[in-house]
Amino acid sequence: MREKYRKNTIRFLVIFLSVLVLIFIMIFSIACSGFEDIKSYLSYAVKENLEMKTGSTGLDNRKIDYNMEGKEIMLPQPKLESESSLEEALAKRRSIRSFSSKELSLDELSQLLWAAQGITREDTGYRTSPSAGALYPLELFLLKSDGAYHYVPDGHKMLKISSEDLRLPLVQGVVFQEFVSEAPVNIIITAIYERTTAKYGNRGVRYVHIEAGHCCQNILLQATSLGLGAVPVGAFDDSYIQKLLNLPSEYQPLYVIPVGYPKD
């Protein structure tokens, strides 16, 4: 009798647990398909919104060519003196998110890029920003109305990689922070981690992030000193930015910095 009772209890428990597992699986799969629906609806809404605002579908129709011939732009020599002091720049720097449409001159671009990653000692290749082991993992890109460029510190020049204005599709990549399309220039700091982790292992990841901070702050202070406004943007979709610039997979975007004359 007791044995029969024990068997029945076990049978009941097994059936009960199986039903529970079934219910859990059903609820889980319904929830997942719901999330998928929401996800695809959101991406559709985001695309539609961008099309309405910019007439562009974001990543479509881009022409990025890292081997564009004859598109090397030599930058003017940076100035090593200015009328504003470092202390003034530190005191005045503020995140600016509203820009006039006035383009930046080549002198101003040169100064910003030099402040970011310019070479300050020809014999060693040392730069304005410090770098762990002088391994320089950062690579900078510029988005302007007349195209996209890659900054090359050696020789202080820019290589044109696209003749298209990628600032509008950039809006979608930075969670619709629309001011990026108003700014005449967006500087994108990317990093190749391997350059630093090859020597420092996992700790190198930390070093790369610290270096992006150094580089960004140099840009922000130089912008302030030139009477320009800028803001460091960290909220963006990494893979979108990678696709936008057709970056090789090892280039990881770390910062987007719109720069321009502040709108009064």
Between CA 74 and CA 82, with CA 80 as vertex, the angle to 5 degrees is: 115
Applying CB under 6 A, does 38 fall inside the site for ligand FMN?
A: no
Q: Which CB atom, from 166 or from 256, has the smaller least distance to ligand FMN? A: 256
Binding mask 67-106 for ligand FMN (x = CB under 6 A): ---------------------------xx-x---------
Q: Is 16 helix (H, G, I), strand (E, B) or coil?
A: helix
DSSP 8-state symbol, 79: P
Q: Which stretch binds ligand FMN (CB under 6 A): 25-33, 63-71, 158-166, 233-241?
A: 233-241
Applying CB under 6 A, does 11 fall inside the site for ligand FMN?
A: no
Query: Closest separation between CB of residue 68 and ligand FMN, Å?
Result: 30
Q: Which CB atom, from 78 or from 232, has the smaller least distance to ligand FMN? A: 232
- What residues does 109 pair with on adjacent strands? none
Spatial CB neighbours of 182, under 8 Å, sequence gap ≥ 6: 98, 99, 101, 258, 260, 263
Q: How far is CA 44 from CA 49, 99, 177, in A?
A: 9, 29, 18
Applying CB under 6 A, does 206 fall inside the site for ligand FMN?
A: no
Query: Closest separation between CB of residue 228 and ligand FMN, Å?
Result: 14
Q: Is 67 helix (H, G, I), strand (E, B) or coil?
A: coil
Window 149 to 168, contacts with ligand FMN (CB under 6 A) = none
Yes or no: say if 187 and 139 are a contact pair by the CB < 8 Å rule. Answer: no
Q: Which CB atom, from 143 or from 233, has the smaller least distance to ligand FMN? A: 233
Q: Look at residues 161, 186, 191, 178 and name the one whose alpha carbon lies nearest to residue 62.
A: 161
Burial 41-59 (b: 16+ CB within 10 A, else e): eeeeeebeebeeebebebe
Q: Which CB atom, from 251 or from 255, has the smaller least distance to ligand FMN? A: 255
Q: Which CB atom, from 20 or from 235, has the smaller least distance to ligand FMN? A: 235
| Residues found near ligand FMN in the complex (CB under 6 A) | 94-95, 97, 177, 231-235
